[in-house]
Amino acid sequence: MARARARILVAGRVQGVFFRQSTADEGARLGLDGSARNLPAGEVEVVAEGERARVEELVRWCHRGPPAARVERVEVTWEAPRGEAGGFRVLR
């Protein structure tokens, strides 16, 4: 299985609508390692690592987000996997 790592920036109405926690829940459901955090500019940054197909599934999920979110833009930067482990977590 090919591993992948993606840094995902999500903009729009994504803070204050449980986007960060919902993304972490979805990442955990997919068995990925990574994190989600709010950025001062109003974006949510998601870093996900794991089986490439599952990372791609999380990217697709980020395009729609939880029901209250209004995603305007998703930027994905693919990176080399780092072999990180520890599940998916929410960063403050």
Check residue 15 and report its DSSP letter: T
Residues for the chain: how many in total? Answer: 92
In angstroms, what is the C-alpha Rg of the chain? 12
pLDDT in tens, 41-76: 999 999 999 999 999 999 999 999 999 999 999 999
Choosing from 3, 20, 60, 92, the catalytic residue is 20
- Per the residue annotation, which of 7, 37, 38, 52 is the catalytic one? 38
Rounded to whole angstroms, the Cα distance separating 39 from 16 reads 12
Share of the chain above pLDDT 70, in %: 100
Domain topology for 3-82: Alpha-Beta Plaits (3.30.70)
Closest CA to 19 of 55, 67, 54: 67
Computed over every residue of the chain, the mean pLDDT equals 95
Q: Is 20 a catalytic residue?
A: yes
Sorted by where each begins, the domain ranges of the chain are: 3-82
